[in-house]
Structure 1
Amino acid sequence: MAANVGSMFQYWKRFDLQQLQDLRKQVAPLLKSFQGEIDALSKRSKEAEAAFLNVYKRLIDVPDPVPALDLGQQLQLKVQRLHDIETENQKLRETLEEYNKEFAEVKNQEVTIKALKEKIREYEQTLKNQAETIALEKEQKLQNDFAEKERKLQETQMSTTSKLEEAEHKVQSLQTALEKTRTELFDLKTKYDEETTAKADEIEMIMTDLERANQRAEVAQREAETLREQLSSANHSLQLASQIQKAPDVAIEVLTRSSLEVELAAKEREIAQLVEDVQRLQASLTKLRENSASQISQLEQQLSAKNSTLKQLEEKLKGQADYEEVKKELNILKSMEFAPSEGAGTQDAAKPLEVLLLEKNRSLQSENAALRISNSDLS
């Protein structure tokens, strides 16, 4: 057993050594390539440091270039200004040459100027004639417009007057109907309140009578029960008296029994009468309630109808809200096309229509005279 273990250990030892040798052979080329790359990088780093130091040594002695750059920029701006000045001088020379040419041409155009003056005089005459024609046409047009506006104003005034009278009549009739409806509505409400109060009092009285009748019926029923008990005891006493025929109290018991029967019959009649009274009162109460409900329903319907009529009349009255606007329409028409001047006071707006028409006619005549004066000035 120990020999087997030793042989196995030797086997595994040889196997591990063999694997390590194989792995070393495989890794050796890779390690060489890594080492070569590392050597190349180190060499390149040293060369870069040497180049940087060389460049730094050369640049450290160079002076600052900023002042030289500023000076170069200023010189460039001066050159640009000189170039702009030369361009402007060239343009001024060209403009001066053109003015000289035009001046020479103007000296040679005196004949043309005379011809132009003649044409100007002809144009002025034509303009004068056209102005007179336009003034006459304007005057005629203004007169025609004035006549047409006056005719339309009269027609509008007549129409507005008729509309105003019709609106006043409608408003008056609507106000009368509204007042009448309000009076009827007030009377109807008063009648409704009175009838409601009366019916309520009547129902309260009937309910009181009914309650009293019920109380009396209950009292009568209790008394009838008492009498029945007394009658039952009397009958029992009578039976005892029949066993003792010669007892002295038999006659008294018989008399007592007869009086109790009479009183019981009277109470039964009273109860029957009270029941009839209660039934009659209940029937009256039911009928009164039905009649009251019917009358209240009718009054409510009438009240609703009156309210509806009142609302309709109020809406119609609101529909005539332009009544005041119709009244103001004449004043608006007076101010339209016949408005007073800016310097006029507020009293001019209340002038009659005839006065406004006369003032407008005078204004048109003044305008016509001003046009004629301007035509004479043109001549």
Structure 2
Amino acid sequence: MAANVGSMFQYWKKFDLRRLQKELNSVASELAARQEESEQSHKHLIELSREFKRNVPEEIREMVAPLLKSFQVEVVALSKRSKEAEAAFLNVYKQLIEAPDPAPSLEAARNLEEKLLQLQRNEPESRIGKDFFRHCKKQSELLNCEATEQSAETSPASIKASEELQKSSTDSTALKNDNLSQKNEAEKERYMRRR
């Protein structure tokens, strides 16, 4: 998990959401200005088209009509595509502009995870637990070897090994409890000193 939190933090740090949000604000402002310009330009084209129809003889209008119609269809298609692209941009913009930057939270999670791993590595009880686990595993292996060598009857050696396992388990548990008690006492003393 440390790699995942760390890599996510690095990604979002490089992504720099705040910078992107500023850029998106700038683009949104430009789009709004261009929309007004586009509307004015569209109105002007309509007016020019009307003047053309009024001032040009009928036979020239008929010759140019297919060409003008093609331009009109293309302008309408471009306008429609532009509006759809702007709507898609604004939809993404609205979601991203208010999104909180996850980088600080991911950095805090990464730091906490590193501290936890460090505590787990430095914790003496975990070392005692590992030693105890290794000791139990060795005893278990010894018992298994003896059990396969002997028949179904119980041998004095396996009884002795079993007793040693129980004794070491009890000793290890007592040692672990002692360490916990010492830690608790130390924590209490530190707490009392702070007051």
TM-score by length of 1: 0.23
- Larger-Rg structure: 1
